[in-house]
A and B are shown apart, each in its own frame.
Chain A
Amino acid sequence: MKHLLSTADLSKDDAILLLDTAAQMAATQSREIKKLPTLRGRTVVNLFFEDSTRTRISFETAAKRLSADVINFSAKGSSVSKGESLKDTALTLHAMGADAVVVRHHASGAPHMLANAGWLDAAVLNAGDGMHQHPTQALLDAFTIRRHLVGERSGADPVGADLAGLRVAIVGDVLHSRVARSNVHLLHTLGAEVTLVAPPTLLPVGVESWPSRVSYHLDETLEQWQPDAVMMLRVQRERMSGGAGAFFPSPQEYSRTFGLNARRLALAPDHALVMHPGPMNRGLEISADAADHARSVIVEQVANGVAVRMAALYLLLAGGDDSERNTQ
């Protein structure tokens, strides 16, 4: 693995290695001394073209726990809407000797360009690009699901395990969601079944070719399909009320038909997890009684994010080049 751009690029073995490594990273994070010397002398740049304090802090914490030097490069502003800036920024980072670039960008494919255009030779980690992918989010979701639903069920450490046979419902604005795209691929790779639950206006054309089921009805999915986890997607309020081009008549109607609350949650199996990538719109896609429910693992998802990002940084940065593969 040279870059982490998309969960669609991950084989099942890659994905399980990432989750297993994350499990060991998580174990170190419960110790008094959380810092590891592993990436001493390596430089990780957080290149954020889009505001996301939560994701940036998570990556920053992960890099620092592995003793890497972290440079935060917030490129948000008027000058970066031009493509030229992405190239010039990349050349700058190359000159600074970045070993890894964690990139968040509003344009789908921007991390792919950074990784492949020949502008820099650092490892590129996609921290969310447009409507395309957010692979570490999907990995932390899978990690959280595995820990609860595989680990607790078997009573053993789920190292090496996949998610075969588990059912995950992903609910909300699939059309604009990189979290949904990343999760559909990764969950499928790991053997889980996925149902996308959304109004038809918020599903992309061509969704029938995705490795998932589609439903327009949340209650029916919860009751009849009995998902093991319910993953709520963030909904942007302005998309619900933008006049003729709005995707839904009103936030109220959205909330009534697709919002998760305690009553709906009761339709799902007792063990079903409540998940959300954050930040939540309480009262829109999720109610307070669902978000704060005993089965909610939303806060734990945040903590697992650090371990997963440590694992990704470790696997991308700790090893030598392929050319040095035969030293042993």
Chain B
Amino acid sequence: MSTTYILRGVRPLGGDPVDVVLADGVISEITAAGEATVPDASHGVTAPGEATVPDGDVVVLDARASDGSGLVLLPGLVDLHTHLREPGREDAETVWSGTRAAAAGGFTAVHAMANTTPVADTAGVVEQVRRLGEEAGWADVHPVGAVTVGLAGERLAELGAMADSAARVRVFSDDGRCVHDPILMRRALEYVKAFDGVVAQHAQEPRLTEGAQMNEGVVSGEIGLTGWPAVAEEAIIARDVLLAEHVGSRLHVCHLSTARSVEIIRWAKSRGVNVTAEVTPHHLILTDELARDYDPVFKVNPPLRTAEDVEAVRQGLADGTIDIVATDHAPHPVEDKDCEWSAAAFGMTGLETALSVVQATMVDTGRLTWADVARVLSTAPARIGRIDDRQGRPLAAGEPANLVLVDPAAHRMIDGSAQVTASANTPFRGMELPGRVVATFLRGRATVLDGVPVDALEGAAR
């Protein structure tokens, strides 16, 4: 028998306070605040952090937000775009460390990108990643399958085999590379229809971005780094939405980053194209001006764009043109970032800061409600990944207890070396961000309590 949790005075989707009881992996009861009854077996009320009682007990969480109000209760977050690096680059991240970081960030499910070594382009590799996720137990791991063999962009990988495998792959992506060959993209879009899959495109025209280091614009011209023009992203997105319309397929656009990309998606949706789009937290807040000091922590693909682009993606997220926020969490070991810009790796970590960045840029600015946050960080990504039978569920009795408790009134200083991820390349280091994940529950089991992974709590028995 598992631990029963009573969450006192929490505010589902930021609404009025209620008590929520989690038992046997599901939300067993939702009552008016203060009315959930503590069963006989209770050891009494404990503060978070002391809640390390053996299985079979009842833990009452009566934590308050920093401003004294109730904590915000959201469905467990779902990331459609995570690089867990295993197999191959365990020096940067492992499935264990990456999913533990995900839990710390409030996630209960992540989609693990295919650009590992070996590439996740066969049933064997995706099943291995899936199994590593189950063993780690921090969050559900849904492997993303490669579209083409070895991400080489030359011929389709065995998409059907990955879809039929134990990993039940539904999202396919060559992320890091663009499926730029139009006939190959068409075939992939058509082929995945058979198992309701989706192609998640990393939109980057390769010829327009040879040697590219950062956004092409005023800053790249001044500091002498080869530019990555916005049009290299927009041209591919435009082509792909037209292709998707033509063949009647589902398309997902990864990490769009430019104002015109938002316009193209808006136009495509107005035509009824079955397209979804994501934006990363860093594209919601950071600009290419940060490259001026040549600190490679700001080197990422697609690159940080201009302030106008940041405003456009915020607007797109606010009006629903952009469906989801996905982290593109890309951990790298120190040596891949502690060097000159052009030698550094692309990418930044994001799992533990995503919710805070969305709060800072969208909630605290009044552009999204907490219910909208649940949509863009949980419900919608779960639906795109076709895991919405388990994740991104409503907050209602009988639903799987995949939940996150957030203190929106807290503020924290970001320190890369203090994060749970195995890598320190956060672009937010030294920044103060609002919001803090207090607790995360995966099918009723706490993975995070008092803001730290449960195995880090004193006396934890893992």
Contacts and interface: CB of A to CB of B under 8 A. Distances in A.
Decide if A and B touch, CB cutoff 8 A: yes
A22 B338 CA distance: 36
A109 B341 contact: yes
B340 A245 contact: no
A82 B220 contact: no
A210 B219 CA distance: 11
Contacts of B223: 108-109, 132
Contacts of A205: 216-218, 220-221, 227, 229
A108 B294 contact: yes
A65 interface: no
A318 B27 CA distance: 73
Contacts of A178: 224
Given A116-B293, A206-B219, A245-B207, A87 B224 contact: no
Contact of A109 (B229, B335, B340): B340
A151 B336 CA distance: 51
A83 B338 contact: yes
Contact of A105 (B221, B225, B227, B340): B340
Contact of A130 (B219, B222, B296, B342): B342
Given A130-B224, A132-B223, A107 B342 contact: yes
A11 interface: no
A40 B127 CA distance: 67
B294 A113 contact: yes
A133 interface: yes
B220 A107 contact: no
B207 to A, nearest CB: 7
B217 A181 contact: no
A112 B338 contact: no
A86 B220 contact: no
Contact of B222 (A112, A113, A206): A206
Contact of B339 (A87, A133, A206): A87
Interface string B210-236: 100000111111111111010000000
Given A108-B294, A205-B216, A113 B221 contact: no
Interface in B255-273: none
B47 interface: no
Contact of A83 (B216, B222, B226, B344): B344
B299 to A, nearest CB: 11
A209 B225 CA distance: 16
Contacts of B224: 108-109, 129-133, 178, 181
A205 B230 CA distance: 12
A32 interface: no
A245 B227 CA distance: 15
A107 to B, nearest CB: 4
A83 B294 contact: no
Contacts of A210: 221-222
A170 B353 CA distance: 47
B343 interface: yes
Contacts of A81: 343
A8 B223 CA distance: 10
A84 B339 contact: yes
Contacts of B296: 83
Contacts of B335: 83-84
Contact of A206 (B221, B294, B336, B340): B221
Nearest to A119: B338
A83 B343 contact: yes
Contacts of A110: 340
Given A108-B224, A113-B294, A209 B218 contact: yes
A113 B339 contact: yes
B293 A112 contact: yes
A211 to B, nearest CB: 11
Contact of B340 (A8, A86, A244): A86
A71 interface: no
Interface in B136-178: none
Contacts of B210: 245
A207 B217 CA distance: 9
Contacts of A181: 222, 224
Which of B219, B226, B294, B296 has the most chain A CB atoms closer than 10 A to its own CB?
B294
Which of A8, A81, A109 has the most chain B CB atoms closer than 10 A to its own CB?
A109
Interface string A139-150: 000000000000
B216 A109 contact: no
Interface in A35-79: none
Contacts of B222: 8, 181, 206, 209-210
Contacts of B216: 205-206
B260 to A, nearest CB: 15
A131 B219 contact: no
Nearest to A6: B223
A39 B33 CA distance: 78
Contacts of B338: 83-84, 87, 117
Interface string A91-118: 0000000000000011111101100110
Given A82-B339, A87-B339, A109 B220 contact: no
Contacts of A204: 220-221, 227
A67 B216 CA distance: 44
B235 to A, nearest CB: 16
Contacts of B339: 82-84, 86-87, 113
Nearest to A130: B224
Which of A83, A87, A131 has the most chain B CB atoms closer than 10 A to its own CB?
A83
A117 B293 CA distance: 10
Interface string A113-129: 10011000000000001
Interface string B336-354: 1011111110000000000
Contacts of B217: 205-206
Given A113-B294, A116-B293, A207 B340 contact: no
Nearest to A129: B224
A161 B296 CA distance: 40
A105 B294 CA distance: 14
Contacts of A106: 342
Contacts of A131: 224-226
A130 B222 CA distance: 12
Contacts of A112: 293-294
A32 to B, nearest CB: 42
B440 to A, nearest CB: 36
B361 to A, nearest CB: 26
Given A82-B343, A86-B339, A87-B339, A207 B225 contact: no
Interface of A: 8, 81-84, 86-87, 105-110, 112-113, 116-117, 129-133, 178, 181, 204-207, 209-210, 244-245
The 5 A-B residue pairs with the shortest CB-CB distance in the complex, in nearest-first order: A83-B339, A109-B294, A83-B343, A132-B224, A204-B221
Given A83-B338, A109-B294, 13 more contacts: A83-B339, A83-B343, A107-B340, A109-B224, A109-B225, A112-B294, A132-B225, A204-B220, A204-B221, A204-B227, A205-B216, A206-B216, A210-B222
13 contacts: A109-B223, A109-B341, A112-B294, A130-B224, A130-B342, A131-B225, A181-B222, A205-B220, A205-B229, A206-B216, A207-B221, A210-B221, A244-B207
